[in-house]
């Protein structure tokens, strides 16, 4: 565990280019303990690339990435396809995480409420179950920083709420920092401290409420403001929920 007050992750003026093509430009942000930072942006905005740079999977072309070397990281990649040729149960998939015991695995499965799947082949899990299995793998080893690439991909709206709730609960209980990618600002509003709107560069950032009112955000997502009203109406129920838990970050 590193110093409790220093940021878990800090990026400074990070740029990334592929074949002279600039895909990320001057990105700076920090993730602190107990805080959730959400990346939001259209397809091809460079969200996953930024995440991989943050994790050290990819090198930045310029700029600096400060990641406390002593911290443990839980990563949830976007898509994990495991070929049928590998006989692997859900339990053994989780057990692949270094320095884990089967006890830890059982607890993590309980946290995501998938104990019943433990002995099943990991390939038999549905899309939503797989996301929860990946979340379980990420929280094994008690991470200081959770990095989640679209944690609710392929999950229905009820399931999405549940996953985001679970992530917030884990964060509040363990005090870890969270960096995640999401498509949907509304669903993550309740549990996010800071939103970064990314479209190759950071268009706008701040508290979710601030970003939601920011025209840059609507321009980036390519949705007119009034379109949002219809959208909000559809999920009116979830909004009650959000306001109760709303973090004010300004």
In angstroms, give the least distance from the CB of 73 to another protein.
6
Rg (CA), the chain: 18
Contact region with another protein (CB under 8 A), list: 5-13, 79-87, 157-165, 168-176: 79-87
What is the Cα–Cα distance from 213 to 220, expressed in whole angstroms? 13
CB neighbourhood size of 191 (10 A): 23
Contact region with another protein (CB under 8 A), list: 4-12, 89-97, 202-210, 212-220: 89-97
Both tokens assigned to 39 = 């990346």
Among 39, 45, 55, 114, binds another protein (CB under 8 A): 55
Return the H-helix or E-strand segment holding 28: strand 21-31
What is the Cα–Cα distance from 70 to 82, expressed in whole angstroms? 30
Among 93, 136, 153, 194, binds another protein (CB under 8 A): 93
Assess 77 for contact with another protein (CB under 8 A). Answer: yes
Q: Within its chain, how far is the Cα of 199 from the centroid?
A: 17
Give the footprint of another protein on residues 143-162 (CB under 8 A): 147
Phi first, then psi, for residue 146 (nearest 5°) are: -105, 125
Give the footprint of another protein on residues 207-246 (CB under 8 A): none
What is the Cα–Cα distance from 53 to 17, expressed in whole angstroms? 12
Assess 50 for contact with another protein (CB under 8 A). Answer: no
Among 10, 52, 183, 239, binds another protein (CB under 8 A): 52
Contact region with another protein (CB under 8 A), list: 88-96, 152-160, 210-218, 230-238: 88-96
From the list 6, 3, 56, 35, the residue with the least C-alpha distance to 196 is 35
- Residues near another protein (CB under 8 A), total: 23
What is the Cα–Cα distance from 55 to 106, expressed in whole angstroms? 26
Contact region with another protein (CB under 8 A), list: 20-28, 81-89, 197-205, 230-238: 81-89
User: By the criterion CB under 8 A, which residues form the site for another protein?
Assistant: 52, 55-57, 73, 75, 77, 80, 82-83, 85-89, 92-93, 96-98, 137, 141, 147
């Amino acid at each position: 565990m590193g110093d409790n007050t220093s940021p878990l992750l800090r990026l400074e003026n990070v740029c990334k280019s592929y074949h002279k093509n600039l895909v990320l430009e001057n990105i700076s942000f920090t993730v602190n303990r107990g805080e959730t930072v959400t990346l939001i942006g259209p397809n091809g905005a460079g969200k996953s690339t930024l995440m991989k740079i943050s994790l050290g999977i990819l090198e930045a072309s310029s700029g600096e990435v400060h990641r406390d070397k002593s911290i443990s990281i839980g990563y949830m990649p976007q898509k994990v396809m495991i070929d049928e040729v590998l006989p692997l149960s859900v339990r053994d998939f989780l057990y692949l995480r270094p320095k884990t015991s089967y006890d830890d695995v059982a607890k993590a499965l309980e946290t995501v409420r998938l104990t019943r799947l433990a002995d099943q082949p990991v390939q038999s899990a549905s899309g939503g179950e797989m996301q929860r299995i990946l979340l379980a793998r990420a929280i094994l080893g008690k991470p200081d920083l959770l990095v989640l690439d679209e944690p609710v991909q392929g999950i229905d709206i009820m399931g999405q709420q549940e996953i985001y709730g679970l992530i917030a609960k884990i964060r509040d209980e363990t005090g870890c920092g969270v960096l995640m990618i999401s498509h949907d600002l509304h669903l993550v509003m309740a549990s996010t401290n800071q939103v970064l709107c990314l479209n190759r560069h950071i268009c706008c950032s701040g508290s979710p409420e601030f970003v939601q009112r920011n025209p840059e955000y609507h321009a980036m997502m390519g949705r007119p403001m009034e379109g949002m009203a219809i959208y909000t109406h559809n999920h009116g129920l979830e909004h009650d929920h959000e306001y109760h838990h709303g973090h004010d970050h300004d």
